[in-house]
Chain A
């Protein structure tokens, strides 16, 4: 049973544009929602994370929007750059600690010049 659904599977954005990746979860006990960035041949790296007590978190060009009632959260990449081209994974866990992360299926982002 897939508990975190991620879309789109792939995304092409022009340089300077906004990249938007969406995730939806089923388990209302989830209380920690990180996004990971993975480059080819590398392990995932934490990009940004949010807890459900806030609706938005921004770090530089990266913003998480969180909608608790809809059980959805999204990653926005402003002013997308070619260096942002990577695979992005949303994830969720419960217990506040991010122990057992359930990952989405990933979005392959390509930022074109």
Chain B
């Protein structure tokens, strides 16, 4: 069982550059979540999908952030342009059902924007 796979594990970029974070959920899971973790704000839900459809994106900070889920096995979180305050650990999580149950987290992507 591979678990949730995220790539890259670490990303260092310069302000203004585009950043794309990738997530492969656990096979057969129908819900996918993107979280951001910082010391100041803790763990925050950015967006979640059910059956590849975005359900709630109210946590997305601003228009610079966008997320897609083109199929059941792949999702991306894109930041364009990136800013230093976007530096954080970004987690992807998946869940078997669409209305409850345990969320399984990936190992995270540590993003540093210089």
Residues of A within 8 A of B (CB): 32, 34, 41-46, 49, 89, 95-106
Instruction: Let me know if B43 and A44 touch, CB within 8 A.
Output: yes
Consensus secondary structure, chain B interface: strand
The 8 listed contacts between A and B (C-beta, < 8 Å) are A41-B107, A42-B107, A43-B4, A43-B107, A49-B102, A99-B48, A99-B100, A100-B45
With A97-B99, A98-B101 known as contacts, the answer to whether A103 contacts B43 (CB < 8 A) is yes
Partner of B103, one of A46, A95, A104, A106: A46
Residues of B within 8 A of A (CB): 4, 31, 42-45, 48, 55-56, 91, 93, 99-108
A100 contacts across to B, CB distance below 8 A = 45, 48, 56
B99 contacts across to A, CB distance below 8 A = 95-97, 99
In angstroms, Cα B106 to Cα A109, docked, is 22
In angstroms, Cα B42 to Cα A97, docked, is 22
Partner of B42, one of A32, A46, A98, A106: A106
Consensus secondary structure, chain A interface: loop
In angstroms, Cα B37 to Cα A10, docked, is 18
Instruction: Let me know if B100 and A97 touch, CB within 8 A.
Output: yes
With A42-B107, A96-B100, A97-B100 known as contacts, the answer to whether A103 contacts B56 (CB < 8 A) is no
Partner of A43, one of B48, B56, B100, B108: B108
In angstroms, Cα B107 to Cα A46, docked, is 14
Kindly list 12 other residue pairs between chains A and B, CB separation below 8 angstroms, not including A43-B107, A100-B45: A43-B105, A43-B108, A44-B43, A44-B91, A44-B105, A46-B102, A97-B101, A98-B102, A101-B45, A102-B45, A103-B43, A106-B42
Partner of B43, one of A34, A89, A96, A99: A89
